[in-house]
Amino acid sequence: MANWYPNFLLRLASPPVFFQVAGRLIPWFFVLASVLAVAGLVTGYVIAPTDMQQGDAYRIIYLHVPAAWMSMFLYLVGAVYAVIALVFRTQVAAVMMRATWQTGAWFTVAALVTGALWGRPTWGAYWVWDARLTSELVLLFLYLGVMALAGAIEDEDKSDRAAATLALLGVVNVPIIYYSVRWWNTLHQGSSINFTKAPSMAAIMLTGMLLMALAAWCYAIATVLSRARWMLVERRAGAKWARMALQGLEK
């Protein structure tokens, strides 16, 4: 019984097993993301009070902060899969790496756009070359760069190795984004949540933001698994299980 967890993880490295398990999980995570998002939006945009300093403009945090968190977290997750893909050469790790990049890039776009909408009433400009904003923009370029490199090389193994290596080099940008407000004098406000002290926002505001963050997590899991699932089918198109999966999709 003690070995069931590592054995299960080893089984997930099998493409047909991963395809089946992911297919069962995806609908549940999409439903959970929808429920949490509705609860978070109602809490943040209906129940939570107006902020004394920023007015209603602060409510963009319910979209901006979860998107910014996920943009950084997914890059780190992709880096973990990059290490696994480089060391063990498993196709499941390779497609999870690529699928994570795609979802992470969209979250980065969402973070930049919502940040610009927040910046206009707060700073008087949609964009400033602030350390936090600039490093987040660099993150988007990293996402686009690794995906472009992966797509430019026809051989899948070489493509995976080259893109994974570049992705690992870009990991250094994630702590720069996170600590930029501490290391430099920036316009961007500091973290509202800190594990060493009490939150700097009202409990109802924090509740709405955490609900939206959980919704973003569930949505990210569902989309990454969905993308990885069909990337794997494309790679293993000649396998019997992949042909059956494609036939099922066509029906």
Predicted confidence band of residue 182 (pLDDT cuts 50, 70, 90)? confident
Mean pLDDT of the chain: 85
Please state, in angstroms and rounded to a whole number, the distance separating the CA atoms of residues 10 and 139: 32
DSSP string, 60-115: GHHHHHHHHHHHHHHHHHHHHHHHHHHHH--HHHHHHHHHHHHHHHHHHHHHHHHH
pLDDT of residue 1: 47
Predicted confidence band of residue 134 (pLDDT cuts 50, 70, 90)? confident
Domains of the chain: 32-250 (1.20.120)
pLDDT in tens, 158-172: 999 999 999 999 999
Whether residue 197 is predicted with pLDDT greater than 80 in this model: the reply is no
Predicted confidence band of residue 237 (pLDDT cuts 50, 70, 90)? low
Q: Return the higher-pLDDT residue of 50 and 77.
A: 77
Whether residue 190 is predicted with pLDDT greater than 60 in this model: the reply is no
